[in-house]
Structure 1
């Protein structure tokens, strides 16, 4: 059962009771006050749909227009949808189809790609093996994930010639592809999806730079071999319905959390289940919108922007009664890189809130906590 400590607190003005949500972060456990209000769909003002076709334009005005919209969303709830992104619909759909084939296989076949064979966090993660929030239930999901591999990156002309100071941080393995060879289109479909997201992410980084009043190529040297990981999630339907719309259920498909690096690009199927905690402390649905991806700000981006851009808490609860697939693509700087708070995000009289920390140290700190699935002291 999720260990959200509940107290009836009267908040001034709206007189709504609240709960306290605890979750892990890069700086240790934190708490958030949550309104016990009914779950509702997000308003366009909370999670806007941004047409990003302008990021590919030769017109600086077009690119700046997209950057302004991204800034508005990033400083609000830190979530937005993107449309006209250039990824054909059949690319994520084909990946989703292959994932369903993989996850519907008997456990002994899936276990050929089990994470226990990995030196890192690549491969298949079976049921009850992930607990992204130590203060909530074990995640009700299975995952197939893998990390950046320059051999699959079209922008790397010679993967063998990757500079040693970068190569030492790469976490390339092949066992998970060998273990899925019984599905002849699996690797091809998944890698095609990853490459499509990678291309959009590299374009979006330029927009993020513009949105922060920086030159478009300001971050270029920091993502030559990026921390670009894919987590392919399979969520069976939750069996325990929520006690009420206000309080939610005891099970989570994936627990309340924030993401690690710069931003995430997410494709979700039509069944829904993604929930975002808005600035007022209310859970809202980020419903699937055909033809779009969801983008959200992650922790490292919040750090380097001195909290200008918001890394927002989110979770998933699959009460659709159907299998659900989500395919988050996590994007960040090379793991050999580091970045401090950007000068453009510190106004006169302000102080930089965060020390510089390497991307590798930050990601490892978060990843270790995510893969600890033992019983929490809060349960």
Structure 2
């Protein structure tokens, strides 16, 4: 038996919408994920006008398998051109490499809702790990940038409009270079359309009608974060220590809030997924793909059938890394309960109905209520 095998498992603590939770971590360094652990799923049948329902159901079957194991998978044939992705990445790198004085014009401190640029070492997603070694630019859904919304005043109910928050004067977009705004918004719109198509496959995977979620996400609760990660010092990926006993991270261990996330990552890598057995798996970049994972709200409405998986980033590559995370949720005024199709005979729903607005507020509150030593 190796020395590693003799070492005890460690306990990872993190926040959830139901209070603090823990995960047991095996005493092994991160390893590359096997194809069976993080599969690649082609979405080609979802985009073909001539595809049959049976071919779309086959995609849904593969998604169901991934969703009920590690909750992470890659997608290919997703309909977004490489030029849209490349232009967004290149413009984002230019923005993050620009002088601090330029980035500060779009600072989150100038925003009513904390949108915009967040400087390095100002975020700690997990209070029990190091500060996040990243800077980011983030925003939330604004119907002015939704290609499906033609008339905001006429189409969107007042109760929904009251929940959609954005700053006056188009901030932070009014404070960034026009080419950065244009490239990143174009990417955002493309991924929004992909998300709406993908959610139909998710509905099929849950035994629902293909359009079951369409109205629930007509004006979705969306967020997007463009993250810039400088390389961590210390050598190779693993349990590097900093600030006492805190693990050094580029972004701390966490689960996502809402239904699902579509992640675009560059070729550098650093994303790590925690398997259900407690092994950190490297989700290595695969050209031409996005990474998709499920969030806490999806796990909730599926009665824990679909897994909201813990993940983090450790960039020990020696290179700067960029990722673009797109978070997709239902309209904030929607109230959802456990889906009947996810309650097996003899089972009971584990969760009560909760509105998307209440859920997101609770989730944020729980994250801030969980405190680590020195956080």
State the TM-score, normalizing by the size of structure 1: 0.92
Picking from 198, 202, 209, the partner of 2:196 is: 202
Offset of residue 227 of structure 1? 1.1
Q: Over the residues paired in the alignment, what is the CA RMSD in angstroms?
A: 1.9
**Count of matched residue pairs:** 363
Offset of residue 122 of structure 1? 1.2
Q: After alignment, is 30-39 or 302-311 more displaced?
A: 30-39
Instruction: Provide the residue aligned with 2:71 in structure 1.
Output: 78
Picking from 75, 88, 105, the partner of 1:112 is: 105
Alignment of 1:5-84 (within 5 A): 17-57=8-48, 58-84=51-77
Deviations 1:10-37 (A, max 9, x none): 99xx755311111111122111110011
Indicate conservation of the 8 Å contact 1:268/1:326, yes or no.
yes
Deviations 1:47-74 (A, max 9, x none): 0000011112341011101000000000
Picking from 178, 184, 187, the partner of 1:184 is: 178
Indicate conservation of the 8 Å contact 1:123/1:145, yes or no.
yes
Separation of aligned partners in 2, 1:197 and 1:298: 17
Instruction: Provide the residue aligned with 1:289 in structure 2.
Output: 286
Offset of residue 43 of structure 1? 0.3
Offset of residue 364 of structure 1? 2.3
Offset of residue 371 of structure 1? 6.8
Instruction: Provide the residue aligned with 1:87 in structure 2.
Output: 80
Offset of residue 129 of structure 1? 1.7
Instruction: Provide the residue aligned with 1:214 in structure 2.
Output: 208
SS of structure 2 residue aligned to 1:185: helix
Is structure 2 residue 354 aligned with structure 1 residue 357?
yes
Separation of aligned partners in 1, 2:86 and 2:174: 23
Separation of aligned partners in 1, 2:107 and 2:364: 17
Instruction: Provide the residue aligned with 1:5 in structure 2.
Output: none
Separation of aligned partners in 1, 2:104 and 2:272: 30
SS of structure 1 residue aligned to 2:63: helix
SS of structure 1 residue aligned to 2:149: coil
Separation of aligned partners in 2, 1:264 and 1:48: 16
Offset of residue 193 of structure 1? 0.5
Separation of aligned partners in 2, 1:368 and 1:104: 33
Offset of residue 178 of structure 1? 1.0
Picking from 91, 97, 112, the partner of 2:90 is: 97
SS of structure 2 residue aligned to 1:270: coil
Deviations 1:173-192 (A, max 9, x none): 31211110xx2311110011
Instruction: Provide the residue aligned with 2:373 in structure 1.
Output: 377
Picking from 161, 171, 175, the partner of 1:167 is: 161
Separation of aligned partners in 1, 2:239 and 2:184: 36
Indicate conservation of the 8 Å contact 1:131/1:370, yes or no.
no
Offset of residue 172 of structure 1? 2.4
Indicate conservation of the 8 Å contact 1:132/1:369, yes or no.
no
Separation of aligned partners in 2, 1:44 and 1:259: 23
Q: 1:326 to 1:370 in 2, by over 3 A?
A: farther
Separation of aligned partners in 2, 1:28 and 1:141: 26
Separation of aligned partners in 1, 2:252 and 2:324: 16
Instruction: Provide the residue aligned with 1:139 in structure 2.
Output: 132
Unaligned runs of 5+ in 2: 242-246
Offset of residue 352 of structure 1? 0.7
Is structure 2 residue 330 aligned with structure 1 residue 336?
no
Q: After alignment, is 66-75 or 348-357 more displaced?
A: 348-357
Q: After alignment, is 294-303 or 149-158 more displaced?
A: 149-158
SS of structure 1 residue aligned to 2:137: strand
Alignment of 1:241-260 (within 5 A): 241=235, 247-249=239-241, 250-260=247-257
After the TM superposition, which parts of structure 1 deviate over 4 Å for at least 4 consecutive aligned residues? 368-372
Instruction: Provide the residue aligned with 2:271 in structure 1.
Output: 274
Indicate conservation of the 8 Å contact 2:267/2:285, yes or no.
yes
SS of structure 1 residue aligned to 2:172: helix
Separation of aligned partners in 1, 2:329 and 2:368: 20
